[in-house]
């Protein structure tokens, strides 16, 4: 008999509400602070950058927030996404444990990012916004937002980190195909960009610099807003459609995970798959573990400090309470571009501090080895970011086998790697190298912070 591999849901089972974990947190996330006065900011301080509906979600403590029909309607282009039992991977590992994965690479942009791009474009459209500005690293967020803006007839302008703009042309073509304008960052279009170029005309750019540029354009134009693809509370909440569907699918499979694993950049796909399970932990005391996996080259969760820091490089955003390596930290050029961000979000940082979630850091060669094994046993070529989750799955199954126990493990396959084949080419030709950050570099970057510490 055919063993069940694929667990699907009906279109009617697309979630009707997003889950807001803040409602169930005993220690609420600390408030953001004004960048100059260091006083807590109110929702009105964010009004130049975001539409009111998203600001309300950002500060909401309501447990369930209804997903508008127009958003569910566009979600149905690719949602519900499939879940798979990784029978091939289990066999190759010779493990007693069961491995499941939720596959978010079926979206038009190839990752989980449209889950938040669509509602963000929708709320901007509802409030009459004409243009949205954003930044993108390797191009995954920029392409998701370009796609979403086109659906609602909004102009989209993207500041793309220069090394990626030059090295990853296909993501740029995707954005152009969906009608967005794309600039290499740092650019000479903003004060932020010009100030960086004055210091270093050859600057390769960074996510933090590109954020500064996009925020500046939004803050200085009345009809333009800004949009962020990770880190913020409302972004994490939009992604909970992943975990809400996954819970139903696990139920259909007659199972429940002991461990839920996802890669960690700013926390959105990790939040998306884990928060609905953490609800069971926070409310009913279930013993589910949630593990966030970061690269050793950008280890904010495992080696960063919990303190207030800026979301960008120039220091224009509010101060966010987060595990951070410092906003001037420039990570090594690993291939998992989506994981090269200096900080984590306020919610995840609080959950980590309270021991509700765990973190691990893994080198990129171990990640690509796991990604290769996955491609050859399950088919999909994973995004380099997703390889971090797979490498952790391998670690966890080995640990369980050593202890002689069987675990049920669920991980998020947050995107496919079809645009990242140059990274696979490097791996296959033995040219991929590991980067470990020295404690000296971390100390140096943190010492540059003059933002308030957290008691």
Ligand X SMILES: *Cc1c(COP(=O)(O)O)cnc(C)c1O
Residue whose beta carbon is closest to ligand X: 265
- Piece in contact with ligand X (CB under 6 A), picked from 64-72, 73-81, 241-249, 260-268: 260-268
Least separation in angstroms between residue 231's CB and ligand X is 7
Least separation in angstroms between residue 406's CB and ligand X is 28
Least separation in angstroms between residue 228's CB and ligand X is 10
Q: Which of residues 269-298 bind ligand X (CB under 6 A)?
A: 269-270
Q: Note whether 264 binds ligand X by CB under 6 A.
A: yes
- Piece in contact with ligand X (CB under 6 A), picked from 124-132, 189-197, 259-267, 433-441: 259-267
Nearer to ligand X, 138 or 400 (CB): 138
Q: Note whether 415 binds ligand X by CB under 6 A.
A: yes
The whole-angstrom distance between residue 111's C-alpha and the CA centroid of its chain comes to 10
Least separation in angstroms between residue 274's CB and ligand X is 11
* Single residue of 186, 267, 299, 331 touching ligand X by CB under 6 A: 267
Residues 367, 384: contact at Cβ < 8 Å? yes
Least separation in angstroms between residue 113's CB and ligand X is 5
Residue the block writes with tokens 């040219």:
431
Q: Note whether 140 binds ligand X by CB under 6 A.
A: yes
Q: Which of residues 333-362 bind ligand X (CB under 6 A)?
A: 338-339
Q: Note whether 111 binds ligand X by CB under 6 A.
A: yes
* Single residue of 359, 367, 383, 446 touching ligand X by CB under 6 A: 383
Q: Note whether 265 binds ligand X by CB under 6 A.
A: yes
Nearer to ligand X, 268 or 349 (CB): 268
């Amino acid at each position: 008999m055919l063993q069940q591999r694929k667990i699907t849901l009906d279109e009617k089972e697309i979630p009707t509400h997003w889950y807001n974990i803040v409602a169930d947190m005993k220690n609420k996330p600390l408030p953001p602070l004004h960048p100059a006065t260091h006083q807590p900011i109110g929702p009105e301080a964010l009004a130049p950058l975001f539409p009111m509906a998203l600001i309300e979600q950002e500060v909401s403590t309501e447990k369930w927030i209804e997903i508008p029909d127009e958003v569910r309607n566009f979600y149905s282009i690719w949602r519900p996404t499939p879940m798979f039992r990784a029978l091939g991977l289990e066999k190759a590992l010779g493990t007693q444990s069961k491995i499941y994965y939720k596959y978010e690479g079926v979206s038009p942009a190839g990752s989980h990012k449209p889950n938040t791009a669509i509602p963000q474009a929708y709320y901007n459209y509802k409030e009459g916004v004409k243009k949205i500005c954003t930044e993108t690293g390797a191009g995954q967020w920029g392409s998701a937002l370009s796609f979403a803006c086109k659906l609602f007839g909004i102009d989209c302008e993207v500041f793309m980190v220069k090394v990626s703009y030059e090295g990853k042309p296909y993501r740029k073509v995707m954005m152009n195909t969906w009608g967005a304008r794309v600039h290499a960052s740092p650019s000479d279009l903003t004060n932020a960009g010009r100030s960086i170029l004055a210091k270093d005309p050859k600057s390769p750019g960074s996510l933090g610099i590109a954020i500064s540029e996009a925020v500046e354009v939004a803050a200085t134009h009345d009809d333009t807003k800004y949009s962020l693809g990770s880190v913020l509370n409302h972004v994490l909440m939009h992604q909970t459609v992943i975990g809400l569907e996954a819970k139903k699918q696990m139920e259909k499979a007659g199972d429940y995970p002991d461990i839920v694993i996802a890669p960690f950049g700013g926390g959105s796909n990790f939040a998306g798959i884990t928060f609905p399970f953490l609800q069971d932990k926070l409310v009913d005391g279930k013993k589910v573990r949630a593990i966030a996996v970061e690269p050793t080259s950008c280890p904010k969760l495992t080696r960063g400090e919990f303190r207030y820091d800026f979301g960008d490089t120039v220091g224009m955003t509010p101060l966010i309470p987060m595990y951070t390596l410092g906003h001037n930290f420039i990570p090594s050029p690993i291939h998992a571009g989506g994981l090269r961000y200096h900080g984590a979000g306020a919610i995840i940082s609080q959950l980590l501090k309270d021991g509700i979630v765990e973190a691990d850091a893994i080198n990129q060669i171990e990640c690509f080895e796991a990604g290769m094994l996955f491609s050859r046993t399950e088919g999909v070529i994973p995004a380099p970011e997703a390889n971090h989750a797979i490498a952790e799955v391998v670690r966890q199954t080995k640990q369980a086998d050593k202890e002689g126990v069987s675990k049920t493990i669920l991980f998020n396959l947050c995107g496919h790697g079809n645009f990242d084949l140059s990274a696979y080419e490097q791996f296959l030709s033995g040219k991929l190298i590991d980067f470990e950050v020295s404690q000296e570099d971390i100390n140096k970057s943190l010492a540059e912070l003059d933002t308030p510490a957290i008691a």
